[in-house]
Structure formats: C-alpha cells, structure tokens
C-alpha cells in the first residue's frame, strides 16, 4: 500500500475557498508520509501555494514558470539537505575506524596495566612465601643442630668411663 502526500490550502477570508497542490510525494507507510510532511519548509509551502493557485485559476505561462521556480527551489533545498545528511554520514564513517582504534588502544593499555599489576602482586606474594620458607628452613636447621648436639651429648654420657691410666687393652701404660 502506498500513501500519497499533497499540500491542502484553505482560505482564511470569508470566501472559504480551498485548493490542493496535487500529489507531491508517494510514500510506502503512514510514518514515512508523516516524516515527509514534517520536513516541509516555508519555501516548499510557498511553492505549493503557487502550484495550487495555478491549478485553480489555470494561471498563464508566467504563473507556471513561477511554480516551476518554486519547485526548483524546493528540489534544491531537498538536495542540499540530502547532501548535508550524506556528508554527516560520511564524516561518521571516517570517524568510526579512528574511534574503534582509540578504543582498542585504550583497552590494550588497560589490559597491560592489569597484567602488570597482577604480575607485581604475584611477585610480592611469591617473595613473601619464599621468605616464610627461608625462616622455616632456618628454624628447622636450628632444631636439627640442637637435636644433633643433644644426641652427641647423650651418647657421650652413655659410654662407660675408662680409667685414665689404662689404655685400650686394659693394661697400664708405661711411663717413659
């Protein structure tokens, strides 16, 4: 289904006349037609008035030329608006890759900072753990040394006492 759009003009004096400009657009939906109507400008409405009056009064050639002039102005205005929209879209298309690169670089820097902070934390934790192991090893060596000293002392006390004048054979040493 297609919707046709035209400009309807009504007289404000007591005569109460009305006229239309004829179909000026065909849109596929009511929303599209509403969008077209919302974009009408003063220049367009002046042209629509000229066209409507030309239809009613069957203006001579000069009136038709005036209507054509207004139509050309409307067309030029629509084309300028369209060109401005296209330029804006092109600017956005050019800016989008740069913005994406900027985002990627920001994310990369954040990742590197996070990885660096994580590595620093892991390094600090490993250093603390190594220090604890070193303290534990030192304490274990001290306990082992004390145990060895006590063992030697106990072994020494457990040996039978020899008399100082006898040697290994149990005979008295000779004095020379």
At 16-45, the pLDDT tens digits run: 555 666 666 677 777 877 787 788 788 877
- CA 39 – CA 43 distance, rounded (Å): 11
Locate the domains of the chain by residue range: 3-104
What pLDDT is attached to residue 59?
47
**What are the tokens at 128?**
């603390």
Q: Which residue has the tokens 């060596």?
A: 141
102 three-class SS: helix
Q: What is the pLDDT of residues 98-129, one digit of tens each?
A: 899 999 999 999 999 999 999 999 999 999 99
What is this structure's pTM? Answer: 0.36
Could you report the per-residue pLDDT of 133-163, keeping only the tens digit for each? 999 999 999 999 999 999 999 888 888 776 6
Classify the C-alpha dihedral 19-21-22-28 as positive or negative.
negative
pLDDT tens digit string along 59-94?
455 556 677 788 888 888 888 988 998 998 888 888
Rounded to 5°, the CA angle 7-75-12 comes to: 25
Unique residue bearing structure tokens 């934390």: 121
């Amino acid at each position: 289904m297609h919707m046709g759009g035209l400009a309807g003009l009504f007289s404000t004096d007591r005569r109460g006349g009305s006229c239309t400009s004829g179909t000026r657009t065909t849109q596929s939906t009511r929303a599209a037609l509403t969008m077209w109507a919302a974009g009408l400008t003063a220049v367009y409405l002046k042209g629509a008035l000229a066209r409507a009056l030309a239809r009613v009064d069957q203006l001579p050639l000069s009136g038709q030329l005036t209507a054509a002039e207004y139509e050309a102005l409307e067309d030029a205005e629509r084309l300028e608006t369209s060109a401005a929209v296209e330029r804006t879209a092109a600017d956005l298309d050019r800016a989008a890759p740069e913005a994406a690169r900027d985002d990627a670089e920001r994310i990369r820097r954040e990742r590197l900072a996070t990885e660096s902070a994580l590595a620093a934390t892991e390094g600090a934790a490993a250093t603390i753990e190594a220090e604890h192991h070193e303290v534990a090893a030192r304490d274990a060596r001290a306990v082992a040394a004390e145990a060895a000293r006590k063992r030697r002392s106990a072994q020494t006390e457990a040996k039978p006492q020899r008399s100082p004048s006898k040697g290994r054979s149990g005979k008295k040493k000779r004095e020379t």
